[in-house]
Amino acid sequence: MLIEQRATSLPTSLLVVLVVWLAVLFASFGMFAPRNATVIAVLCISALSVSGALFIILEMTQPLDGMIKVSSAPLHKAIELLGK
In a domain, 6, yes or no: no
In a domain, 22, yes or no: yes
In a domain, 4, yes or no: no
In a domain, 1, yes or no: no
In a domain, 5, yes or no: no
In a domain, 2, yes or no: no
In a domain, 3, yes or no: no
**Residue 54: domain span:** 12-82
CB contact at 8 A, 72 and 79: no
Residue 61: DSSP 8-state? T
Output the pTM of the full model: 0.67
- Candidate from 19-23, 44-48, 65-69 with smallest mean pLDDT: 65-69
In a domain, 50, yes or no: yes
Instruction: Quick: pLDDT tens for 5-18.
Output: 555 667 788 889 99
Between CA 35 and CA 19 the distance in angstroms is 24
The total number of structural domains in the chain stands at: 1
